[in-house]
Structure formats: structure tokens, C-alpha cells
Structure 1
Amino acid sequence: MGMRIFELFPELAVVHHKDDDCRFGHISYVSRNNNLGPMLQDAIAKNYGKYAFRYTEDMRCGMVDVRGLFENRDNPLCVEIGFGKGDSTFRDAKENPNVNFICFDVYLQGFAILMSKAADAGLNNILLCHYDALDFLNRSMPESCVDEFKILFPDPWPKTKHKKRRIVNPSTSGVFASRMRSGGIIHAATDVEDYAKCMLDALSSEKNLENLYPSFAPKGIRKNTTSYERKAVAEGREIFDIIFRKI
């Protein structure tokens, strides 16, 4: 199929926006190599219609009824930002058929792999979006509609000059809170202690959020781990989970 996949679905070829057109002012990710082999291109071509949320340019000036994207709009809605290879995301969706999942990532290989798994399992409660999640939240995500945000192992941007790009920071915590329903959860995880402390401080500073624990959540609180997390643990790195609830 070659590059035809980008002709069929042009939004897959564009995942970023100009800084001056971004409501947050900074891009919070790095788009990795998006070359796809024939099998993954076929997976997208066959399953894009059912499993992709196509956030096209003409939609970017208004709100999107994200709950209405699913057959059962009354199910709880989980928004996952950055699912990598999608292994834990797939298990979460498969084990929770009465929860709807919208999953954002700019990593096209992981996008294709997760889409293929969802199709093979016949899941009806998951949609994938190849777009910058923060920009979508600010432009088109209605307030008070999300039951859970899941942000597992985002880019830590370790250099001081880049820390403003971290996806969970003081300038984004209020945006997450405003999009959450009362009682909704934001669950973040990282293996970088400095980033964990920064996330804890950023979310603690938001008046509409409360920490479910005195500090970090207990170890092993998530049933389904990511491939990145398993590698980090094998290499001896500590995992930090942060869980806040909207008041």
C-alpha cells in the first residue's frame, strides 16, 4: 500500500500544529518514526473506519460530543493520553466493556498495533485518535464530560528548558480538572522521580482536585502494566503513580 495510507487518511500525516496556534503554547510530545510496514498499513486501512476518531481540520473550531461517538454514550468515559504500544490499553478496554475509551497518541506504529488488536478482539468500546491530545482538550473537549484521564509514562522532558512542555504541569492541571466530571479521576504514572514530584505539586495546586492518597499511590495499584513500565522495573527504576479526584 506504500504511502497510500496517508492519501486515504491525510490526518495521519499531520500530528502537530504551529506553536502560535496552540492554546497551550508548547508541543508536549516528540513524533517518533512513523514508517509503517505493509501489515500495519493494512491494519489501519481495514479498521480505520470503525476504530479511529477522525479529528479533521474542519472540526477544530468547536466542541466535539465525545460521549456521542459511542453507541452507549452513558458509559463512563476514559481518555488515555499516550498509549505507546497499547498493551495495557487493550487489556483495560477488553476487561471493561462498559467503559468507553478514547485514546490519543502520535506514535503511528502503536496506533496501528492497538487498532489491529481491538479489531481482532471485536471491541466496541475504544476509539483511537492520531492527534495532539492537549490541543484537542483545549479546542474541542467539552467541560465536565470525562470520568477518567489516564496518562502513563509521558515524555519527562528532563532538560530544564523543556520542562514547560511536560503534559502535566501547573498550566494544564486546571484544564484537566475542568474537563472531568465531579468524582472523576486523573491517574498519571512515571519512572522519573523529579517529574513525579512535579506532577504531584501541579495537581495539588488545582483547587478542584484532591489527592486520593497522602502522597503517591500505593505500589502496584494498576492491574495492567505497560511494556515500558515492565522494562523500567526490570532495570531497577521506581514507579510513581499519582491519582487525584475532582471534588
Structure 2
Amino acid sequence: MSESETPQNPAPPARPNEPRFPDGPRPDPAGSHFERRIRSFQPRRSRVTTSQADALQRLWPKWGLDIDGQRVLDLAEMFPGVDRVVLEIGFGMGEATAQMAADDPSTGILAVDVHTPGQGNLLGLAERGGMTNVRVANGDAIILLRAMLPDACLDGLRVYFPDPWPKKRHNKRRLIQPEFLSQVAGPLKPGALVHCATDWEEYAEQMLEVLTAHPDYENTRPDGGYAPRPAFRPLTRFEGQGLDKGHVVHDLLFRRR
């Protein structure tokens, strides 16, 4: 499943040599500071609505950040007044993220994506709902984990419906791999919850296999299998449409040892 929308009232394009969003997310925030690697995502610079562009222009300096790899984040300063902070990688148009933020204001959500319309949409949802516990990060989550997050700073990781890269030759681009799990283990506190969900059966099997085999994680399920969808993960309309078509969604809940 992919979360997308048909934009209404698209924002006017930038003039030549003019930044698309002068005060918003940069197209390539890390630039040449880091070596190129196999990416687990496809940057999508699709049409942005007027309301999304307005949110990016107004709210990005306050609630957005570019993943440039040039500084270490202070999550306590970034999320004042919360009890815990979780990292969400890939949030689509942000509806589920906004709902989780509204349902649990004591948890800060550092939400990472490269989809510009989704970034603007989530910022707008957060503002309209009064959710001050959301921060939107633009760029490569691997650089964020490697260079910008201190050890034992996160209380959880959420990866919902990542790109399944279904063609066998592209399987190496999937995010949930042993190397990624080792990378994220450092910023995760002991006991932090790792929650993945996918409706791609073969990818779910791979997730379960690599998480089970990794020494830094343990399954919360005594039977070692998949978990029921926890109440804190909203059922989005896109997921509901998939279920109506017979898709099977698998949730995986593991803890950092």
C-alpha cells in the first residue's frame, strides 16, 4: 500500500534558480558529505498543494529539520515536556502519524520522509490539531541514525508499510536488513519497542527472519511470530482499502535487548 493523494490547487512552481521552498526542506540536505549508498527509498518530488506549500513555508523553520549529518540532535531540547521520543521512518501523507501524536501527547514523534507533499501535509495536520509533539525530518534516515542521534536516546522505532521492493534484484534495497538493525540499535534504549508493519507477505517473512536472528532484539510474542495490530497504530483508510481487497497485514513487535 502507498499513501498518496490527488492534490487540489497545486502550488505554483518556483522560478528558474529559485529554491522551491526557500525556508523549507532542501532537495539533498546531506549533499556530498556522505558517500553514496544503495538507497531504500525513492525521493518523490510530486505536486504540492497550496496548503501544503504554505505549511512548509511557515512551519518548517519551527518543526522541520534537514538530515545533513552535520550536528548531533538534542532530543530533550527538540521535544520539551514529553516523556519519550520515538522515530518513525516513512509516514506517507502523515495521517496515521498525526493521529498517534494526538492520542499520546506525552510521546514525541521524530518522523522521517522524503515526500515533500507528505511533509507539508503532516505539518499542517499537526498545526490544526495542536500537536506540538511532532517533528518532521527530511532526508536519509541512515544518515540520521549514523551521525545525528546519540546512543540510547530513542524509546521506539516505527516502520509502517515500507517500500517492499518486490523485484528480486531490488530486495537489497529493503530497509529492514541486518545492517540497518545494527545501525539503529545504538540510538535505541534498552527495552525500546521496534514496531514494523507490512502487507507484503514475503517482506513480512524477511522482517521476521532478520529480527529474530539479530542478537540485539527479542520478539515480544512468546510464540515467536507476528503480533496483532496494537491499539496505538491507527488503521488508515489505505490499509482498510487493502484489507477490503484481501491483503493481509502483519505487525512485528520486538524489543531492544
Give 1:221 deviation, angstroms. 2.5
The answer to whether residue 90 in structure 2 is matched with residue 102 in structure 1 is no
User: Does 2:183 correspond to 1:171?
Assistant: no
* Aligned counterpart for 2:28 among listed residues 14, 19, 23: 14
The 5 A counterparts of 1:126-205 are 126-205=134-213
Distance 1:92 1:195 in 2: 25
CA contact (8 A) 1:216 1:241 kept: no
Whole-angstrom CA distance in 2 between matches of 1:97 and 1:235: 34
Residue-pair matches, total: 241
Select the residue among 212, 223, 235 that pairs with 2:220: 212
2:21, 2:227 → 1: CA distance? 47
Q: Is the 8 A contact 1:219 1:239 kept in 2?
A: no
- Alignment match, 1:243: 253
Aligned to 2:238: 228
RMSD of aligned residue pairs (Cα, Å): 2.2
1 CA distance for matches of 2:200 and 2:45?
24
- How far 1:9 sits from its partner (Å)? 3.3
TM superposition shift of 1:144 = 1.1
Cα shift readout 1:195-247 (whole Å, capped 9, x = no counterpart):
11111111112212100012333333244123332221121110011110012
Does the CA contact (< 8 Å) of 2:194 and 2:254 recur in 1?
A: yes
Query: Contact conserved, 2:160 with 2:198, CA < 8 A, in 1?
Result: yes
Taking structure 1 as the reference length, the TM-score comes to 0.89
Q: Are residues 34 and 13 of structure 1, via their aligned partners in 2, closer, same or farther at CA, if it must alter by over 3 Å?
A: farther
Q: CA deviation at 1:44?
A: 1.3
Residues 1:190 and 1:69: Cα distance change in structure 2 (over 3 Å): same
Is the Cα contact below 8 Å between 2:188 and 2:256 reproduced in 1? yes
**Residue 225 to residue 122, structure 1, CA distance change in 2 (3 Å):** same
SS for the counterpart of 1:53 is strand
SS in 1 for 2:74: coil
2:62: which partner in 1?
50
Matched residues, percent identical? Answer: 25
Displacement after TM superposition at 1:7 (Å): 4.8
1:122 and 1:10, CA in 2 relative to 1: closer, same or farther beyond 3 A? Answer: closer
Task: State the Cα distance separating 1:42 from its structure 2 match.
Answer: 1.1
1:174 Cα deviation from its structure 2 partner: 1.3
**Which of residues 113, 123, 126 is equivalent to 1:118?**
126
User: What is the one-letter code of the residue matched to 1:200?
Assistant: L
